[in-house]
Structure 1
């Protein structure tokens, strides 16, 4: 009898250890979002990336997320709570989460962190972003070709390098095909606030803009343009195709899924290390949404050719000659911008020549 009890105890222990091993094989992945998952733009696309992780790994992963987390102290609390809850890997998906991510990572050295669009790394913090400015080049080209008023409106979120790069890239490519074009920029100081975004779009339209670009995340500018009529827009972060073929004539689409899957796999394999990733159209992290039939066929073909040359690396969106706003030289003829350094794209804090107004401090 004692022998049978011993066998049963051993079997129970074996089953317990097997169950523990199975539990240990489950990787917990967390996501911190700045907007609601239904924003139709930035956060929506990150959420699609999370869902892709679930679909790819099945029961090997457990994912959790928290939406509409303000940047700052609230973010630090949310990230801390996620780490305390046992997350192995946490993606923090907004620029303003940079310092909170670094602070929390220092307290949880065994947790891996991935911060979107920032520039501060640590042994357990990677950074990743997309070359959205490549998509802005295509949008600027179409905008410059299609504007009739020669006034292009731009709804900007915050004066950080990512947003400034986008404004410059769109302006450069609009100006090259339409020397008479003028940009009017409204700083909304929000990533997602439909009321503010709608007000900004309406104000730009009232100032004569017949094209409105946005670096904010809701579809409110699309709705405002649709109501005004004869105003062209572009989807931001997601396709926003419900507003096609007019006013939305194309879009920038953020595709985070391959990166999220790869980085989760690295944690599972034990091969994760801190890296800096900055990919664009060529790598598939930035997509150009279908250009609608509202765009003339020749303009569409030229825009697609521009997209393809950016993807192949044959052409760089920031190719000289280009001056800074004050007229001082930036890039000589044929010279392309570097990613880093005093005048590099990663730290861009100036407008190019021809843009009006000042960048807020």
Structure 2
């Protein structure tokens, strides 16, 4: 007979006289591995809100644990392994750079279920999940293109991966639609969370003439830099960042992981969990659009909300042709919509964006 990890733990507990009744044995343990601190005000903060939603939904039936500020790389594998050894039934690994580590640890613990955010590698006990952030970027681009006075929009990118490239392209396409003179300047921070780096990037973009800053990094430092500069608008990333409203933060993308975390935890509890790939957006509420403040002209706000509703209803796709690639080659014909495979592997800029994507 093959002994499972749970059987071994129960036998060990009994041997040393620990309780193995329903209270100790039947509680589902859910772990979360975070790339930043829970107080980052952005990406990790919202994932932790999802963890708290799990606790609220299931009460004493679950125990949640988390480790914050785990670097992408070997240390992540150590943290995941430790969680599994300590009895986690389900582990959420919440950053793209945890992908290989998640697969490696999952192979060693086939009885543990793993959920990896924003990656693409799966196994029998590994699911993947992400959000269509590019839908929110389209709305941000529309607002930004209408509101810039310098016609220069700055964008702080984290890493040159498809998720980030999609967002830049989507924001640019929609800014360009309403303002043909708009120009994007992009700085790669090569970090998800580093307030000092993010602030420096924002300041550099402002010095280059940007009066709108978009970001795909996790801290509120760019908001603070814009507030200090004055006459610069920003958008909250991953969470509302409402402490900077109504200016400079005029709206935000909100990552709502709570329903997904509750549903996947329930699947483990009731024994229906299967390895799946999930990529949801505005239509399911996984991507939310935060308050659009009165700093945005009423007409622009109405147009942005109408775009949100059209995306939610499936009536509009942010990547709809005609569109060309940066090198001038054709990509999407008039009315043609990008397929998910191309979007998931996106490694090119659209026509009009300047600069090369770092390799």
- Short-chain TM bin: over 0.9
Structure 1 counterpart of 2:228: 227
Secondary structure at the aligned position of 1:113 is classed as strand
Structure 2 counterpart of 1:78: 79
Aligned partners of 1:17 and 1:292: how far apart in 2? 56
Q: What are the within-5 Å matches in structure 2 for residues 23-38 of structure 1?
A: 23-38=24-39
Is 1:352 equivalent to 2:350 in the alignment? Answer: yes
Structure 2 counterpart of 1:8: none
Structure 2 counterpart of 1:306: 307
Structure 2 counterpart of 1:9: none
- The alpha carbon displacement at 1:21 in A equals 2.9
- What whole-Å deviation, never above 9, does each CA across 1:304-336 have from its counterpart, x for those lacking one? 001111111100010000011001111110000
Structure 2 counterpart of 1:7: none
Structure 2 counterpart of 1:149: 150
Mean alpha-carbon deviation: is it higher for 263-272 or for 21-30?
A: 21-30
* CA gap 1:29/1:232 in 2 versus in 1, 3 angstroms: same
- The alpha carbon displacement at 1:19 in A equals 5.5
Aligned partners of 1:208 and 1:311: how far apart in 2? 34
- The alpha carbon displacement at 1:17 in A equals 12
- The alpha carbon displacement at 1:20 in A equals 1.8
Secondary structure at the aligned position of 1:238 is classed as coil
- What whole-Å deviation, never above 9, does each CA across 1:327-348 have from its counterpart, x for those lacking one? 11111100000001xxx10000
Secondary structure at the aligned position of 2:284 is classed as coil
Q: What are the within-5 Å matches in structure 2 for residues 1-361 of structure 1?
A: 20-340=21-341, 344-361=342-359
Aligned partners of 1:351 and 1:360: how far apart in 2? 11
Identify unmatched segments of 5+ residues in structure 1: 1-12
Aligned partners of 2:277 and 2:316: how far apart in 1? 23
The aligned length equals 344
Aligned partners of 1:309 and 1:81: how far apart in 2? 45
- What whole-Å deviation, never above 9, does each CA across 1:268-308 have from its counterpart, x for those lacking one? 01000000000000100000000000000000000000111
- What whole-Å deviation, never above 9, does each CA across 1:5-36 have from its counterpart, x for those lacking one? xxxxxxxx9xx999523322200000000000
Aligned partners of 2:18 and 2:146: how far apart in 1? 66
Mean alpha-carbon deviation: is it higher for 21-30 or for 60-69?
A: 21-30
Identify unmatched segments of 5+ residues in structure 2: 1-13
Aligned partners of 2:307 and 2:344: how far apart in 1? 23
Secondary structure at the aligned position of 1:36 is classed as coil
TM-score, normalised with respect to structure 2: 0.95
Aligned partners of 2:109 and 2:207: how far apart in 1? 51
TM-score, normalised with respect to structure 1: 0.94
4+ residue segments displaced more than 3 Å: 16-19
Aligned partners of 1:189 and 1:354: how far apart in 2? 23
Aligned partners of 1:138 and 1:197: how far apart in 2? 22
Aligned partners of 1:42 and 1:69: how far apart in 2? 14
